[in-house]
Every structure is written in structure tokens, then in C-alpha cells.
Amino acid sequence: MAETSVLQSTLDAIIARLASLESKVGIQVPASVSSGPPSGSGPSTTTNVVEDEDPPALVAYDEHVSRAVTPFVNACLAVEELKDTGNQIKIIWDGIRDIVKIGTKCKKPTNVQEVLMPHLKPVQDAMNKIRTARLDRKVDWHIKALMEMLASISWVVMQAPPAPSTFIKDTIGSSDYWANKIRKEYKGKDEAHIQFCETMKALISDLSTYVKEYHLSGLMWNPKGIAIDEYKPDSSGGASKANVPPKKEAAVGAANLMKELASKRSQDGTSAATGLKKVTRDQQTWRKEFKADKATPIIPSNKPASTPSKKAGTTVKKDPVCKFQPVGNKWVVEYQTKDSNPNGLCVIEVKDPKDSCYIYKCENATIQIKGKLKSVIFDSCVKCNLLFETAISSCEVVNCKRAQIQSTGVCPSFSIDKTDGCLVYLSQEAVTISNFVTSKSSEMNVSWFDEKAGEQKEAPLPEQFVHKLVNGSVTSDVSDLYH
């Protein structure tokens, strides 16, 4: 017995671990599992499995829903235009729960995707409602981010490789592309939209963690389960009265009304029109006898007069910002005006060429950047001047009006987008190096010193192009206005 005691303890540990593993993946363990030696040779332990308990994979899924899905649904409900979208998200995750439950009860079928398609119908319908909803244009980025995120739902029909959890995590990048636009648009303005982005990212990450732990190589099936054809979902009970179609209720109401009117006429000889005021010809607006001056006067309302709305275009003034953010090596310059600094000049001294500068919502201000830097972004500024030495990468001008940009050093690329009125001054060194990329902009000009002529020259950047079909392809030429 001394020689076999070590072997017996090892076998006991192996059996216990196997029982734990089977329970975790949803395999129904027999009512009693002996983890000890045969009868008469030593003590034994018995593991009882409660049939009514949900499998661990399903329990963990419910925890995932309460931990990550519910906060995201609440974030959708906090945005007025996305309230119905939040309800559809709840339907989608409930539908996936049904699929996970099928996996814990049934054996793996030969063609997983084909067999699961009927069960995925509610999920597909909810996703289609999100995709085709006619919402305000200001939530376009929200819907695009959502559709990128919802691609992760297809993990239930995937088989490794690639691992479903990796596929889910990859959707963070594609959804964050649109979410970052939302963050930029609503930062410091509306926390509900920021919360939408954060909870959506947390949801994807949490789903990836759950799938990695319980469905590493695809949806986990029960090897000892029933055939999926024999599976019957839980009945939802009888329909409540609230589910009666409104049209049917309206029809019943109309029938009762007509019945009541008929009964009234049979009782006292009156009709539905009894007691109504007679309308003469001169009171019928569609007749030529009608005169507007005899129309019924408008009765003044008892409601208090509405307060005048705020004048369109007014903006809330914010404190000017000019600071360096070590994270990302970026200078942030915001809300500068001609009164923010002495002589209306905001000076930035860049010490590291890896630094970049982001200038936002400035008005009637002049920003000067000393030193070489990586790039400059000039965003949503009005009547502002920008002076910098050398930008290693580019200078971007976006959503600006009447902007003047001057580079005393070299800038290889200027990007002008959605800007009205932009004048770019180039140094003599940058004339042969710089290029311009423009879109949706007007009144763009570039100025440089011409050595041969010995004078400063200025030329417009073309806004108008002529397109033609030549030999089955489109050709584009600058309009004659610029020649």
C-alpha cells in the first residue's frame, strides 16, 4: 500500500481536474464521480452535479452582459438619437446568449454556420434596423463605429484559425477610427458622446476576454449533448394584452362606436350629426363665396410666450490654452485671440524635432513657432496668422477662414481642406520642395520670391477643373481661368 499511495494521490488529482474541466466547458458530469480507490480499498469522495444550474460558459456570459453590455446600452440611451439603437444592442446580445446556450446543450453539427443561421435571425434583424435607421446626420460617426464593432458578433460561427478572440479585438481599431472623430468633436462639450465611445471599447475588450476563456477555438459545443434538431428553446409564455396589434384594437373601437351611434338613432330617432352647427356656403373655404375677413378670429392662447432663442452662431468663450502635453509630444494651442497675449502674438518654443503642434479655434491671433518640429495642424481658426520655421512632415489647414501661413524654413507638404481663404508664403528654399493637396476649399493662393524677376509673386491654387471622357477614361485639366 505504501508503494501505491503516491500513485493513488496522483490519480485522484487527475480525476478531480478532469471533472472540473468537463464542468467548465458545459459537459454533463454523471450524478456521482468516484475520485477514490475501489470499494473496500479506501475512502472515496462523491461529486454531485445539480442539473438545473446554468453551465459556466453561460454564467460567465451573463456576467459579461452585466459588466460591459449594460453600461454600453445605458450610454446609447443617454444620447437622444441612439435610444432605439441601445434597445437593438440589447436584442443582439440576448440573441447571442441563445446561441451560447445551444452550444452548452447540443453536439457540434457538421455545418455550424448553416445550422445556426435560423437561430441568428433576431440578431441579423436587429443589426439591420441599426444599419437602416434614418437618424440625424450628427450621429453618422456613431453608427459607423457601431457597425464596425458589431462585426465582432460573427465570432459565434467562426472556427480557429484565426482565434475568435483575436478577431474580436481587431475590431477595436476599426471602430476607434470613427470613435476618435466623435471624441474630438464632443470633447469638453457633451460627456454622453464620450461615454458612448469608452463603453463601446470596453465592451469589445470584455467580449474578447470572455471568448478567449470559454470559446478559444470557436463556439464551444457539448460532446455529450443532444442533436441540435432535438433542441427546443425555452417557451416565453403566453402573449400579454400589450402585444395585441394596435390596428385590431382600433378596429374594435371603431366597430363599437358605430354600434353605439346606430343604437342611439334607433332609440330617439337622432343621428350622429344631431346638434352640430350648420356651415353656410360663405364659411366653406373652398368655395368662391368664402371671404377671408369673415374667417373665425384666432383665439389667443393661455400659454406663456416662448423665450427668444439664442442668436444663431453665438459661441461660448473659453479660456485660451497654450501648453505642452508630454504624452504624444504635442503642443496644444486653443482659443487664442488678439487680446490673449502681449501684442496679440502667441510664441511657442519647440525644443525637440519630434514635437508636433495642434492649433484649434483661435480667432484674430498670430501664432509663432520657433524651432524645428514634426508637423503643424491649423484647425477651425478664423482670421489667424501662423508663422513657423521648418516642419519635417507637413502643415495641415482644416476648416479655417482667412488664414495666412508662412514657413521661413522648409515644409514638404501643405494640406488644405474645407477652408475659405488661405494664403501660403514659401521661403526661397521651399519653392522647389513643397507640394499642395487641396479639397473642398476656395480662395487659395501661394506667394514666393522670384529671384529672376527680383520681386514677390503670388498665384492662385486651382479650384476649378475641366473633366472629359477620352477613350473610355476620365481626364482632368486645370480650368483656363488659371492659365
pLDDT digits (tens, 9 = 90+) for 242-287: 333 444 444 445 556 556 555 555 455 555 556 566 677 677 666 6
Say if residue 126's pLDDT is above 70: yes
Q: How confident is the model at residue 48 (pLDDT cuts 50, 70, 90)?
A: very low
3-class secondary structure for 401-440?
Answer: EEEEEEECCCCCEEEEECCEEEEEECCCCCCCCCEEEEEC
- Tally of domains within the chain: 3
Q: 143-160 b/e with 16+ CB inside 10 Å = b?
A: bbbbebbbebbebbbbee
| CA dist 79 → 140, 202, 426 (Å) | 13, 18, 46
Question: Is the domain of 328 the same as that of 207?
Answer: no
Q: Is residue 236 part of a domain?
A: no
**Could you say which of 53, 72, 93 is where a domain stops?**
53
Q: Please state the rounded mean pLDDT for residues 13-36.
A: 59
Question: Is the domain of 345 the same as that of 468?
Answer: yes
Question: Is the domain of 21 the same as that of 90?
Answer: no
Question: Is the domain of 119 the same as that of 37?
Answer: no
Question: Is the domain of 69 the same as that of 164?
Answer: yes
**Could you say which of 202, 230, 258 is where a domain stops?**
230
Assign residue 161 the CATH number of its domain: 1.25.40.330
Q: Is residue 267 part of a domain?
A: no
Q: Is residue 261 part of a domain?
A: no
Question: Is the domain of 14 the same as that of 79?
Answer: no
Contact criterion met (CB below 8 Å) for 96 and 90? no
Residue 183: give the domain boundaries. 56-230
Share of the chain above pLDDT 70, in %: 73
**Could you say which of 205, 230, 255 is where a domain stops?**
230
Q: Is residue 294 part of a domain?
A: no
Question: Is the domain of 220 the same as that of 74?
Answer: yes
Say if residue 168's pLDDT is above 50: yes
Q: How confident is the model at residue 421 (pLDDT cuts 50, 70, 90)?
A: very high
Question: Is the domain of 32 the same as that of 62?
Answer: no
Question: Is the domain of 354 the same as that of 477?
Answer: yes
Q: Is residue 247 part of a domain?
A: no
Q: How confident is the model at residue 171 (pLDDT cuts 50, 70, 90)?
A: confident
Question: Is the domain of 388 the same as that of 466?
Answer: yes
Question: Is the domain of 91 the same as that of 6?
Answer: no
